[in-house]
Amino acid sequence: MLDRLPPDWRAALNNRVDAPPLEHLQAFLACEVEAGKRLFPAQADWFRALELTPLAAVRVVILGQDPYHGEGQAHGLAFSVPPGVRPPPSLVNIFKELEADLGLARPHHGLLEHWARQGVLLLNTVLTVELATAGAHQGRGWEALTDAIIRAVDAQGAPGVFVLWGAHAQKKAALVQSDRHLVLQSPHPSPLSARRGFFGSRPFSRANAFLEANGRGAIDWRLP
């Protein structure tokens, strides 16, 4: 599994992940494919977030749970969808908060690659899912890898921002040195919880203020 990672991430994670969870994960995924189950995203996109955002470039981590499980939605970046795919409700709410926070007009698409290329690691804690079955691949081994990714970012010399939306993501706060990094926690942007504190949390302006105060430059949150 590690052999499929970009070289910089592979070098950083090589001694951070025990082999058994990844071996179990590979066996599980092979069995799922053999059984004819449809998995998202496509295998070529499993590590798309790491490909677009090198470790040394990470300034912000936005943590999701698992990929979208609808047809054609997941493409390897948390909360993002490919061009031509209608933004799901959680992403619509993210755009509403972006507009309220920074005054930016809501985008007409849901592709977040512009963020990723600036150092925003759009990471899910589980990197695959079965069609129409949310959470189907939780507890199968992905967490060992993604926890190691979070720890690798935490260990970088420069301070960064960790955006943890919802209870699942907030469990990962224990992996982050909050005395060095800014950890922003709020309810998930899902329609079920967004009005309980996600709206009004101002994650984009708060992240930029911290980055600028630490000499790392602001993220351009616009989506051209």
* Two tokens, residue 139: 């507890």
Quick check: is 66 catalytic? yes
Name the active-site residue from 66, 101, 154, 179: 66
Edge to edge, the sheet with strand 60-64 lists 120-124, 60-64, 161-165, 182-186
Alpha carbon separation from 56 to 8, 24, 65, 196 (Å, rounded): 8, 29, 23, 34
Token pair, residue 19, equals 């082999």
The answer to whether 222 and 65 have CB atoms below 8 angstroms apart is no
Taking residue 3's Cβ as centre, other Cβ atoms within 10 Å add up to 5
Contact 120, 62 (CB under 8 A): yes
Strand 60-64, strand 161-165: pairing: parallel
Q: Extract the tokens encoding 92.
A: 């619509």
**Burial classification of residue 215, based on how many CB atoms lie within 10 Å of its CB (0-12 exposed, 13-18 middle, 19 or more buried):** exposed
- Where in the chain does DSSP place strands (E)? 39-40, 60-64, 120-124, 129-130, 161-165, 182-186
Residue pair 73/45 in contact (Cβ under 8 Å)? The answer is no
- Active-site residue numbers? 66
